[in-house]
Structure 1
């Protein structure tokens, strides 16, 4: 299934911004609703994909990635039974909160991320006041959710290494029996990638990818967002799988050379893999970097 998301940034400018900010980019799909497409114009992307895979497989960057904490899930979770009413849902979406009460001031120190499949990681924790400040992103009139207290706890998140139990702050919301949860551990920083972004002069039809939206529970498919212009046939992607990585190569099909609006559309597409993702790293062929979860600069990026 494809989902369209409209932006107002010209395609050329948006692609340039993504290349400059290559630290916050992400992945795409294989033809239409999945399955690896390795024919036609897609063949042009395979040499670059092989270069990226060869640079990453067995590299120090790949080893650091596998040892780090890279969430592929929202680090803020609403109360267990969801939010009641349109006003509360709107407040959550816009991150509009009001504090009524005191938050713990003590520094929480270090916590442990524990993976369901084994392994753990020690990481510094975010304080309750810092966590609340990052949670409350909207000021002014409009609906809001009221926080009355916070206490330490845990939450479960999907990560690049499968489900993990993560230290969290549990915020009590006025009118709710269960708390809102926010991860108290920041994602690991990305090591210096072993390959530079593709030069624009030699990248052929390759384009940078926007973001990872979701990964299936069995690891056999990933849903991603790719951008394209208003006067083309939409984004396409090829998939190159190796034992250590999965490289996605995005391009735009049917580009019209005539006059066109500056509108930028985004599409959510699903990529189906030949085998489960496992511990392999998901890479963008254009940028040569891992595909992060979440919008660049948004509340839940998978790396910083």
Structure 2
């Protein structure tokens, strides 16, 4: 990103931090904030509010929203570790570097399809990957350091958070030497993302919206009560970090990310990522979580040090 563009973004981010409104909410620096419901409300510059409403209205009742609610879009890590992992630093390092080795045979056959079963009802049949393919997604390390030894595998299930709520998902359960419970790896791929009903903000646009909005890097854990959402937001080198304004409606939640309190002086061009926790007025439920900048659902972001995210 060019320095002059970043300066414009950060200057406008200062406006985002200073604006206020009635029945509105935002969060920054890991803090929490709420927002109004009903017709939907938010805070931030007028352009940010209007962009969030445009995104919300475009998705509400759309074909893309129906597809999102009917298909399989994981919002959780693709791997679940054995109980008690890790026994020691060597095993932790082996996992972090994806250094695995086979100490036994893997199943040579698998069913063509498996069912994703949602806790709230509903199923979806999807192609199942082979045990070998799932193993190779784990074992990408090729070094002489410590390794985790896989001695076998069987097809089972693991529970994941998805865009439709918790689901039992087909998974390969790998036996790992030294552990009493298996390492689980998802055995089905996410559904194809629907074509969004609204386009992203153009950074080269002359519209005010592009001056203060930034894209979110991803979504992390949702609290047990589904009322707090952790996001990864971007900021620059001469501000006080990211902040996220929220627009809540009955159908969806739209997050508008920007920066707070830009300081004077020259700025370098790098962008940084930081966690921001946003508290909603009511639980997420089956509402879509949308990014005002991209006009798309916020993708799941795997925490640092974990294996690949479930979808992107």
TM-score by length of 2: 0.83
Alignment-derived partner of residue 244 in structure 1: 251
CA shift, 1:82, in A, is 2.3
Alignment-derived partner of residue 197 in structure 1: 200
Q: Is the 8 A contact 1:112 1:121 kept in 2?
A: yes
CA shift, 1:213, in A, is 1.2
CA RMSD of aligned residues (A): 2.3
Distance 1:301 1:57 in 2: 27
> CA 1:30–1:42 in structure 2 vs 1: closer, same or farther (change >3 Å)?
farther
Q: Is the 8 A contact 1:172 1:179 kept in 2?
A: yes
Q: Is the 8 A contact 1:223 1:269 kept in 2?
A: yes
Alignment-derived partner of residue 183 in structure 2: 180
CA shift, 1:44, in A, is 3.5
Deviation readout 1:259-287 (Å, 9 max, x if unpaired): 23344322111111111111111000000
1:163 counterpart (140, 162, 166): 166
What are the residue-to-residue correspondences of 1:199-214 with 2, within 5 Å?
199-200=202-203, 201=205, 202=207, 203-214=210-221
Alignment-derived partner of residue 38 in structure 2: none
Alignment-derived partner of residue 296 in structure 2: 289
Alignment-derived partner of residue 79 in structure 1: 82
Structure with higher RCO (Cα < 8 A, 6+ apart) = 1
Alignment-derived partner of residue 27 in structure 2: 30
1:150 is paired with a residue whose SS is strand
CA shift, 1:52, in A, is 0.3
What are the residue-to-residue correspondences of 1:58-137 with 2, within 5 Å?
58-137=61-140
1:224 is paired with a residue whose SS is strand
Q: Is the 8 A contact 1:10 1:263 kept in 2?
A: no
Q: Is the 8 A contact 2:115 2:170 kept in 1?
A: yes
Distance 1:77 1:168 in 2: 10
Distance 2:219 2:146 in 1: 30
Q: Is the 8 A contact 1:208 1:287 kept in 2?
A: yes
Alignment-derived partner of residue 311 in structure 2: 303
Distance 1:102 1:11 in 2: 54
Residues matched between the structures, number: 280
CA shift, 1:13, in A, is 9.5
Compare 198-207 and 261-270 and name the one that shifted more: 261-270
CA shift, 1:111, in A, is 0.4
Alignment-derived partner of residue 151 in structure 2: 148
CA shift, 1:257, in A, is 5.7
Distance 2:115 2:177 in 1: 29
Deviation readout 1:160-181 (Å, 9 max, x if unpaired): 2221111110111111111111
1:227 is paired with a residue whose SS is strand
Q: Is the 8 A contact 1:212 1:224 kept in 2?
A: yes
Distance 1:180 1:13 in 2: 45
Q: Indicate the structure (1 or 2) with the bigger Cα radius of gyration.
A: 2
1:254 is paired with a residue whose SS is coil
1:261 counterpart (261, 268, 290): 268
TM-score by length of 1: 0.85
1:279 is paired with a residue whose SS is coil
Deviation readout 1:6-38 (Å, 9 max, x if unpaired): xxx988899xxxxxxxxxxxxxx7344111374
